[in-house]
Amino acid sequence: DLGSSLRGTLDKLRGKSRISEEDVEEIVKEIQRSLISADVEISLVQELSDNIKQRALEEEPPAGTPARDFVLSIVYEELVDLIGESTDLPLEEQTILLAGLQGSGKTTSAAKMAWWFSTKGLRPAVIQTDTFRPGAYDQAQEMAERAEVDFYGNPDNDDPVEIARKGLEETSEADVHIVDTAGRHALEDDLIDEIEQIEGVVDPDTSLLVLDAAIGQGAKEQASQFDESIGIDGVVITKLDGTAKGGGALTAVDQTDSSIAFLGTGEEVQDVERFEPNGFISRLLGMGDLGQLAERVERAMQQTEIEEEDWDPEDMLQGQFTLNDMQKQMEAMNNMGPLDQVMDMIPGFGGGIKDQLPDDAMDVTQDRMRSFSVIMDSMTDAEKEYPKAIGASQIERIARGSGTSEEQVRELLQQYKMMEKTLKQFQGMGSDKEMQRMMQ
């Protein structure tokens, strides 16, 4: 099972928050394998994996998001980008034309879609124009009956264009007209001619290409041929109740610049679903609910952005620098990177000026940050706002309260003093005319 192999690779990332190029390569390879075995066309797979690779390496995971989830959310977003939302089908009067090769599931899908529209309170009719396949009329009529929808067909007429014209007249009481057409074993000129003529008479609002989920690399030619002749607005993918994952739909959607409308999931008229990207993509990759995961990562991303907005490094250069500022800065470092990089974001404080900092003035390592955080949690707000007022008795109390030593508390205060001094220096520079000119 390829899904489980992909999960295995991703599980190796569990707990990691940084991803190496090697990790990304490995994941992308697994994604490629999954997509190819799901019948996604090779050039599409290549394009997708290039995008995924680039984003996974360039973008910063939001704080607290495991690397695995981050990469998966990128994979999901790229696939959603390609597939898009379901084909727009307004719940109102309309005509839909179905095209596709023989056996792809057109007749079944016509009845299924008619049933689906009837559950939305509309009155659908199926018009059967297949004069090619023996028994096509009976099959369509029987399915329309099961769906309890209007039906028109004429087994005694061998002109599909004429049947289509007549069918629209005869079912004028219906709001939604679904026109089923004949298929052939392969794309042939007479099939294309026939469907072009039907299209001319029917003038559909939407033309859907019906594809068997098992269609592999053949999807591309079919999609481009039908698109050229009648213009494809959407794809119906059938037989998803089998083992095939329906990756050919991606090719068709890409090729026709359209979207997926419906999914067929069985032989009964009720076995139909409106397309929805999450379920389809999760199934395609053999993974759980990827949409939910991507949403979670997106929320974390927004949260990080809000926190970054909340804390403006420039504020630090104005007014009093307090322990609260230092704590915020330490949190920000988690999200933005080390302070010297943060400094680069401040206009005028990149390059040369930064080099004038004492070596370790801004260097707060992860471990120290953690212990500083614990210590600050035992301080009062007043102490954090006026650290200079912290004396020996307070230091003793804070050390006891935070389960650290007085020495550690002193170290924190020392770090604070050093940062404050450095920033004062900056503030002094900022008011200097010469410096201001340099910063512009």
> Among Mg ion, ligand GDP, none, what does residue 251 contact (CB within 5–8 Å per kind)?
none
Give the residue with the Cβ less far from Mg ion, 73 or 107.
Answer: 107
> Among Mg ion, ligand GDP, none, what does residue 264 contact (CB within 5–8 Å per kind)?
ligand GDP
Q: How many residues bind ligand GDP (CB under 6 A)?
A: 18
Cα-Cα-Cα-Cα dihedral of 202, 190, 140, 169, to 10°?
Answer: 20
- Asked whether position 264 contacts ligand GDP by CB under 6 A, the answer is yes
Query: Which residue type does 299 have?
Result: R
87 and 260 Cβ atoms separated by less than 8 Å: yes
- Asked whether position 129 contacts ligand GDP by CB under 6 A, the answer is no
> Among Mg ion, ligand GDP, none, what does residue 238 contact (CB within 5–8 Å per kind)?
ligand GDP
Per DSSP, the three-state class of 416 is helix
CA 23 to chain centroid? 20
Q: Classify residue 98 by burial, with Cβ atoms within 10 Å: 0-12, 13-18, 19+.
A: buried
Give the residue with the Cβ less far from Mg ion, 179 or 250.
Answer: 179
Give the residue with the Cβ less far from ligand GDP, 269 or 399.
Answer: 269
- The nearest distance, CB 222 to ligand GDP, in angstroms, is 12
Residues paired with residue 263 on neighbouring β-strands, in sequence order: 237, 273
For ligand GDP, the binding residue among 66, 84, 103, 430 (CB under 6 A) is: 103
Q: How many residues bind Mg ion (CB under 5 A)?
A: 2
> Among ligand GDP, Mg ion, none, what does residue 66 contact (CB within 5–8 Å per kind)?
none
> Among ligand GDP, Mg ion, none, what does residue 218 contact (CB within 5–8 Å per kind)?
none
422 and 358 Cβ atoms separated by less than 8 Å: yes
- Asked whether position 183 contacts ligand GDP by CB under 6 A, the answer is yes
State the Cα–Cα distance between residues 76 and 267, nearest whole angstrom.
Answer: 30
x/- mask, Mg ion, residues 81-120, rule CB under 5 A, reads -------------------------xx-------------
How many other β-carbons are positioned within 10 Å of the β-carbon of residue 347? Answer: 9
Check the annotation: does 270 bind a ligand: no
Query: Which residue type does 409 have?
Result: V
For ligand GDP, the binding residue among 17, 37, 102, 371 (CB under 6 A) is: 102
Query: Which residue type does 349 have?
Result: F
Site for Mg ion in 288-327 (CB under 5 A): none
> Among Mg ion, ligand GDP, none, what does residue 104 contact (CB within 5–8 Å per kind)?
ligand GDP
Count H helices and E strands in the chain, helices first. 20, 8
Give the residue with the Cβ less far from ligand GDP, 105 or 234.
Answer: 105
Check the annotation: does 181 bind a ligand: yes
> Among Mg ion, ligand GDP, none, what does residue 177 contact (CB within 5–8 Å per kind)?
none
State the Cα–Cα distance between residues 402 and 375, nearest whole angstrom.
Answer: 5
Identify each DSSP E strand in 265-348 by its residue range.
272-274
Give the residue with the Cβ less far from ligand GDP, 177 or 239.
Answer: 239
State the Cα–Cα distance between residues 306 and 326, nearest whole angstrom.
Answer: 18
Per-residue exposure over 387-422, b if at least 16 CB sit within 10 Å of its own CB, e if not? beebeeeebebbbeebebeeebbebbbebbeebbeb
Residues 6+ apart with CB under 8 A from 45: 32, 35, 36
For ligand GDP, the binding residue among 3, 61, 62, 100 (CB under 6 A) is: 100
How many other β-carbons are positioned within 10 Å of the β-carbon of residue 342? Answer: 19
Give the residue with the Cβ less far from ligand GDP, 183 or 387.
Answer: 183
Question: Where is the binding site, in residues?
Answer: 100-107, 180-184, 238-241
Residues that bind ligand GDP (CB under 6 A): 100, 102-108, 183, 210, 238-239, 241, 264-267, 271
Question: Where is the binding site for GTP, in residues?
Answer: 100-107, 180-184, 238-241
Residues that bind Mg ion (CB under 5 A): 106-107
